[in-house]
A and B are shown apart, each in its own frame.
Chain A
Amino acid sequence: MKNLFKSTLIIALSFGAFSCTDLEEEIVDSYTKSITPANPGVGTKTNVNKPTPNDGLGGAFSRVLNGTGGHGGYFSLQEIPSDEVVVTQKGGDWYDGGELIVSHQHNFRSSGMIGVEGAWNDAYGGIFQCNDLLKEAGLPLEKQAQLRMLRAYFYWRLLDLYGNVKIVTTPGVDVSQSNRLAVYNFVEAELLASITDLPAGRGEYGRASQGAAYALLARLYLNAKVYKDLAAFDDTDLQKSIDAADMVINSGNYSLEPDFKKVFSPDNVENVEHIFVAPFDEATGTGMQFPYMTLHYPSQLTFKLAQQPWNGYSTLEAFYNSFEDADKRKAASFISGPQYAYNVDPEVKTPILDLAFDKADPDGAPINYTPFVNELFPNGSRQGGARLGKFSFKVGQNPDADNDYPLLRLGEVLLNRGEALWRQGKTGEALIEINKLRARAGVSDLPSISSDGGDLLAERGRELFQEALRRTDLIRFGAWGNAWWEKPAHNDPNKNLMPIPNSAIVAATNLTQNPGY
């Protein structure tokens, strides 16, 4: 028995030595609640263009980059169903379950459609960051105003696309769904409330200013008929739009950039025309992938791209032809015609080849982007369609582009003001604003505006191509149901709203789908 006791003791001691009653999990390779980075501004030094301010708001403002210049989010959802952008199925490539075709043909659906989930999640991701920062006690009024303006911008996206959404203002606290009018009222109220404390000047790079809040208000009021579901444009709303636009125009902070191209070029940091931007940068503002989304594979050689492009997005032939040849905006917006390999001497023109060229491509192996596109599916030609070149590409482009993407710019404010005036019947005043932009583009003044506003809609298209506003414009002009290439006409007002993504409905359980879906 003595042995038994001794052995038991040994075992008991061993237990003591090895036992671990404290099963705490200590995460050592990811930040947790208890560890937060000491220097949130460490990244600013490597921005190749211009650093955004080290003000602690980057977590929220960086969210406007998501989906704005890439494939699968806000940009795709706004542009692909419009009459200015198309992604054809190119044989085995770009069918992708029909997610692009359904969008182009307005067979909108709550899943399996390009961008419908991305745009939703990105907007709420941004809203969460705003809410999270706003809940901090003692946040200076100006920062609060910055965040509220930004949050209102994200809610404007939800208002414009989905309409009936949840207005969450406290992180982690669920609320019930609001209708579109309530969301409109919220966006308006938030913008108005933020103005006082926002900077009166141009504001910091990549941040909000009074000009941004007014410019968004001008856009919001111009679209009030749609957002409020009114039978006709309300004169008060139009006047509010004009007034808000005047606040921007008369602030003296912004002016038209004489060279249209420069508004969108890779070095367009703090362009005089920019009011509020998504400050893309190859290092600290990643997510702009236009070169990859639009160019054909061998165009990699033209721009010495770091990766092979995907040959997806192009423009519709009719839209391309809506530009006069003399319109400087045409050359600035599209890449078309024969393509050549990069050479330091631009006179040396070595054609780039699609060696295994497609029989649907009339030009054979040498790449030639034709405005003509043979079909939407299944065998769209690989070289068909002028390519999206407004946000121009630099040679040796890295995977992420540098061009800042104007979310609000003076050109649009002028057009909004002009349109509101025209809708008030003040065509003469309207034409003054609109012809400022035509003059810059090197084309003759528009003498008049047709009664249906078709001239104005076309002009907006030429000016604002690739800026994710076309869908909103087509709806406001009542042209959303029109037929265009490979897109049948429809008369379904439900299609003015996108379906709420099915994934959100499943995850949230308290969301009701929009009518008609």
Chain B
Amino acid sequence: MIRLYLSIRRYTIFVLLFASFVATAQERVVSGKVTSADDGAGIPGANIQIKGTSSGTVSDADGNFKINISPNATLVFSFIGYATQEIVVGTQSTINVSMLTDVVSLSEIVVTGYGTQEKKEITSSVVVLTEKEFNQGNINDPSQLLAGKVAGLSIYNRGGDPNSNATIRLRGISTVGSNTEPLVVIDGVIGASLSNVDPNDIESINVLKDGSAAAIYGSRGSSGVILVTTKRGSKRGGAVGFEYNGYVAAATPIRMQPNMSAGEYVAAGGNDLGSVTDWQDEVTRTGVSNVHNIAVSGGTKSTTFRLSTNFRNINGILEKSGFDQINTRANLSHSALDDKLKVDLNMALTNRKSNFSFNDALRYAVLFNPTAPIKFDNGDYYQAILFDNFNPVAILDQNVNEGKRKNINYNAKIDYTIVEGLTATANFGQQFETNLNGEYYSRNSLYRGLNRGGLARRYTSDRQFTLFEAYGTYSKDFNKVDLSVTGGYSFQEDQFEDMFLEFGNFPSDDLGYNALENAGDRLSGLASLVNVNSSASPKNQITALFARVNLTIDKGIFFNASVRREGSTKLGEDNRYGIFPAAGVGVDILHYANMNSFKALKVRVGYGVTGSLPGQSGLAQDLYTYSFNQGGNITKTRDANPDLKWEQKEEINLGVDFGIGTHLTGALDVYTRNIKDFILEREVDPAVYASGFRFENAGKLKTNGIELTLNYNDINLGQVRWTPGIVFSKYNTTLEEFIVDKQVRGELGAPGQNGTYMIRVAEGEKIGQIWGPVFDGVEGNGAPRFKDLNGDGQIISAPGQALADDGDFKELGQGIPAAEFGWTNQLTFKNWDLNAFFRAAFGHSLVNSFRAFYEPLDPGAINSYNRIQTDKAVAGLTSAQYSSLYVEKAGFFKLDNITLGYNFKTSSTAFKSIRFYGSVQNAFVITNYTGVDPEPQLADIGAVDNANFAPTSLDVLSPGIDRRQSYFQSRTFTFGINIGL
């Protein structure tokens, strides 16, 4: 039977509670407690069965049980997710059982789109992570729970700014112009936002990696699907449980940029201004964070609930940066009408107040003259009027950059079992997000306010998302065939509005951004000074019809097929609908062949088509803007393309799930994905098209990859039990077709290196090529000399000739790692538990842009800017010009997080469990990269200079550039406590 409830584990408990107590004569009572070996907590609802009979019982809310047995009985203890144990009772009257996690079991229930399946029935590449497998430490973004844990899922939050989100890529990029982040589904709500889920409230996360699994999500499944299941209450027979999880964390920068000390700077010819200031030290700190989570859960036969509140006070290593957040979640389930009707209601609310601080302070701390004082004697900040040069302490002290975010979402789901095997489900949900940000730059701040007599910026946005889905599932077990059919309808609507105001020229700084009416700029009315903007998206709608059939034949052959027909408002009139089919088949080899050493062996193959939806609106229409120039006129900004159609990804995934012996399990997947028609804005002939730009379906990508997961359960080393696991992944993405044959992108920028592009993309070649001339020594005038790579006797190496036929340029490195690797270790020893997670990425390089600008000892600039000094510096080089010199291999191996915990065994009725733990994130990093963070930069954040506002768009085709405005990576020490009542 197909189980429809996300809380399948609890549902099982509920079923088991109905198992009656069976007592017979000449029996005696045995009692005991079933606990989890992981944390010593009682397992409620564990199944205790007398072997060879149908008699049994289940453990209560605390894991305790009592059972009547006859002599010589053997008890079988089982619970989903744990290895089944058999214990001969003998004469014992008390039996305490510690249950071990069962990684070998293929009988797990896996949440897939619109339903669940037993793991063995799955024919696609799906990974399930539960709470105890998550990353540990000070984690504020749910995606960080998974970093490195899933083969093929790359999650990098370079620098670790607490207010920034990680970049997530599943099997590389699957689109160029559209959304490259996976689709998130939270408790069945498609397109939900991870920013409204506290990591503490997540029970499990499933990752649907390949097209055959994701196709049921149609137009937005191309970048993969992440299904999040939040924790729910359990049926404790009316009992109520409390949980408290709290920690305090301290973060310090791991590495600083290797710039010159005051002494080195003066020795190198810098202007000695008489002071000694370590600017990087001045703008960073030990960031202390506090996190508290309180959860209450419980339930009766018909109703369960869980209420959870999370407080987060997070402080980053950059002065002022961090946030305060309260998040509350309520999950309720109720069943009625003889359990034919089940109602679920989930609600969550997040209220976050952020201080974004100024990442620029880090950048200018690297560059600012180390002999400059922070302030003059009269209290004024020291400033040099120079391009791209600002006192970093003044930036932080004089200005504010804050924001508030509120998220609310709820969804109500009704399941009704119409007849045995036939269930109807309706799900309605809404999600809201509002942002209100404020920036103020003081009248005295050279950084941004001085020129403008004070500058205030306010930004607010509002997003509303509505989902309605209705579907039915019919399941029936025939003689040799188990059949399950699901079909339904989906409607989604997304709308976004925002508003921006920027004014300058204030009579005083006292009111900050709160009194825009005092802005003198209002009198000038100049558009170049008064910057205002408001926008609203259309109602972006998606409608879909979908169907799926799952067949299990002979308990050994599994077949899944699905189709989704989906339409979106964003596309051209004639191409609004797309069809996304998928099919998969799996064979349990052991069902047909006896292979001694294998405990499990399943071969599966899946094929699926998915799409990608672009972020912008109005792609297929002519758009115009109004300009006040010359008395007002309208200008076309985009030319229509009514033929615009869906991006499509076709993917074939071949996989093997295996178990060897009793301990080793694993999965091996190989895949090919072909993406075509990706939607890109391209330059078109300005002689024909007024705007010179329009969106076209222009391009093909192909990715081949391999992923391996290995787990070894429970190596016994005396009393130490060790469970290691490895994930490994590797992929190659080729740009098969593009808007041009070849192109360079990723401009290095000012000062002096505009027009210098570092990334090459070309049809038929791998994406992620870092491109440039090869450094070959220093000319007499201090300029770099480059290699004559093609041996034609002339050196064509100017950045503007990067693509010239006779150019002396080559690939200097790859922006995307060749392989990614994760190594989990769970160890237990008596009451101690140790969790160590190592992570590595190899084969990628980074352009170290700090070095590219500031390492050469430019005799002019040495007076103006501090210099970077690494062992890669070349003596005599005085001219900063991009070349191979600044492209560094950035492979790394790091101890991502290590946690040591101690579980107090309590017999107290007050405390069910108490655990203390200490954790270190980024405990060590081994790398040759000389910058602050060797993690891959999967998308380019763009160049910015001279206190201009940074671009917000990301260029996914230009990976591998370590920009100057990056936050510094931190090492975090966490001490925490978990209490269960």
A residues contacting B by CB (< 8 A) are 1, 3-4, 7-8, 10-11, 14-15, 18-21, 23-33, 36-37, 39-44, 46-47, 51-54, 58-62, 65, 89-99, 101-102, 109, 111-113, 120-121, 124-125, 127-129, 132, 165-166, 168, 171-175, 206, 279, 282-287, 297-298, 300-301, 305-308, 310-311, 353-360, 377-379, 381-382, 398-400, 503-504, 506-509
Contact = CB atoms under 8 A, between A and B. Distances in A.
Given A37-B634, A359-B860, A297 B386 contact: yes
Interface centre among B618, B628, B854, B864 (most CB of A within 10 A): B628
Contacts of A165: 687
A30 B629 contact: no
B687 A93 contact: no
20 contacts: A3-B418, A23-B568, A29-B534, A30-B623, A32-B623, A44-B632, A54-B632, A58-B632, A91-B860, A92-B865, A93-B861, A97-B757, A98-B799, A111-B803, A112-B800, A166-B687, A354-B386, A378-B858, A379-B858, A398-B529
A285 B629 contact: yes
A85 B885 CA distance: 33
Interface string B574-605: 00100000000000000000000000000000
Interface string B610-638: 00000001101111111111111111010
B800 A358 contact: no
A94 B629 contact: no
B630 A206 contact: yes
Contacts, number: 332
B754 A102 contact: no
A174 B687 CA distance: 7
B455 to A, nearest CB: 11
A360 to B, nearest CB: 6
Contacts of B861: 91-93, 358
A11 B687 contact: no
Given A96-B755, A308-B385, A379 B860 contact: yes
A284 B631 contact: yes
B528 A286 contact: yes
B424 A11 contact: yes
Shortest 3 CB-CB distances between A and B: which pairs?
A: A112-B800, A97-B755, A59-B633
A18 B429 CA distance: 13
B879 A378 contact: yes
Interface residues of B, number: 104
Interface in B458-472: 468, 470, 472
B101 to A, nearest CB: 40
B878 interface: yes
A297 B526 CA distance: 23
Interface stretch (B75-83, B210-218, B535-543, B888-896): B535-543
A125 B387 contact: no
A399 B801 contact: no
B853 interface: yes
Contact of A37 (B271, B369, B570, B626): B626
Contact of A300 (B385, B418, B682, B859): B385
Contacts of A172: 688-690
Contacts of B750: 93, 96
B630 A58 contact: yes
A356 B384 contact: yes
Given A46-B628, A308-B946, A358-B863, A508 B426 contact: no
B364 interface: no
Given A4-B422, A121-B692, A129-B690, A359 B529 contact: no
A95 B625 CA distance: 34
B755 A58 contact: no
Contacts of A47: 631
Nearest to B624: A31
Contacts of A54: 631-632
Contacts of B4: none
Contacts of B472: 11
Contacts of B950: none
B751 interface: yes
A21 B387 CA distance: 56
B543 A11 contact: no
Residue of A54, A101, A358 contacting most chain B CB atoms (<10 Å): A358
A379 B878 contact: yes
B451 A307 contact: yes
A18 B491 contact: yes
B917 interface: no
Interface centre among B452, B633, B687, B754, by most chain A C-beta atoms within 10 angstroms, is B687
Given A29-B535, A92-B865, A283 B468 contact: no
B489 interface: yes
Interface string B547-571: 0000000000000000000011110
Interface in B407-465: 416, 418-419, 422, 424, 426, 451-452
A512 to B, nearest CB: 14
A282 B683 contact: no
B529 to A, nearest CB: 7
Given A46-B525, A91-B859, A113-B800, A121 B686 contact: yes
B555 to A, nearest CB: 29
Contact of A95 (B543, B862, B881): B881
Contacts of A308: 385, 387, 451, 946
Contact of B863 (A8, A300, A356): A356
B683 A503 contact: yes
A3 B757 CA distance: 67
Contacts of A30: 618, 623-625, 637
Contacts of B570: 25
Interface in B472-489: 472, 489
Given A27-B621, A29-B535, A171 B451 contact: no
B722 to A, nearest CB: 52
B26 interface: no
B792 interface: no
Contact of A25 (B416, B538, B801, B802): B538
A72 B798 CA distance: 18
Contacts of A62: 627, 629-630, 633
Contact of A400 (B493, B528, B576, B625): B528
B634 A507 contact: no
B684 interface: yes
Given A3-B418, A62-B629, A378-B782, A98 B543 contact: no
B92 interface: no
A504 to B, nearest CB: 7
Interface in B510-552: 524-529, 534-541, 543
Contact of A52 (B468, B631, B684): B631
A178 B543 CA distance: 50
A29 B633 CA distance: 17
Contacts of B624: 30-32, 36
A507 B685 contact: yes
A7 B416 CA distance: 9
A378 B881 CA distance: 10
A311 to B, nearest CB: 7
Contacts of A8: 424
Interface string B257-291: 00000000000010100000000000000000000
B104 to A, nearest CB: 40
A292 B83 CA distance: 73
B615 to A, nearest CB: 14
B20 interface: no
A366 B757 CA distance: 36
A381 B859 CA distance: 10
Contacts of A507: 682-686, 692
Contacts of B878: 378-379
B373 to A, nearest CB: 12
B951 interface: no
B245 interface: no
B740 interface: yes
B496 to A, nearest CB: 10
Interface in B685-699: 685-690, 692
Contacts of B633: 40, 58-60, 62, 129
